[in-house]
A and B are shown apart, each in its own frame.
Chain A
Amino acid sequence: HGIDLTTLGLNLNSTENLHKTFGSPWSNEPSKGDPEFSVPQCYYAK
Chain B
Amino acid sequence: ELGAIGDPSALGPMHEQMDNLLMLEAAYRRVPQPKDSERPRPYTPRNPAITPQTFPQTQAPIISNPLLWERFGSDGYGTDTLFFAFYYQQNSYQQYLAAKELKKQSWRYHRKYNTWFQRHKEPKIATDEYEQGAYVYFDFQTPKDENQEGGWCQRIKNEFMFEYSYLE
Residues of A at the B interface (CB closer than 8 Å) are 23-24, 26-27, 32-34, 37-40, 42-46
Contact = CB atoms under 8 A, between A and B. Distances in A.
B91 interface: yes
B117 interface: no
A39 B96 contact: yes
Nearest to A45: B114
17 contacts: A23-B34, A26-B31, A32-B34, A33-B38, A33-B40, A33-B64, A38-B96, A39-B90, A39-B95, A39-B96, A42-B109, A43-B91, A43-B95, A43-B99, A43-B168, A44-B90, A45-B114
Contacts of B114: 42, 45-46
B34 A42 contact: no
A3 to B, nearest CB: 16
A23 B90 CA distance: 26
Given A24-B34, A42-B114, A33 B41 contact: yes
Interface size class of B (residues with CB under 8 A): 20 to 34
A42 B114 CA distance: 7
A24 B37 contact: yes
Contacts of A27: 34
Contacts of B99: 39, 43
Sort A-B residue pairs by CB-CB distance and give the 4 closest, nearest first: A45-B114, A34-B93, A42-B111, A37-B96
A1 to B, nearest CB: 12
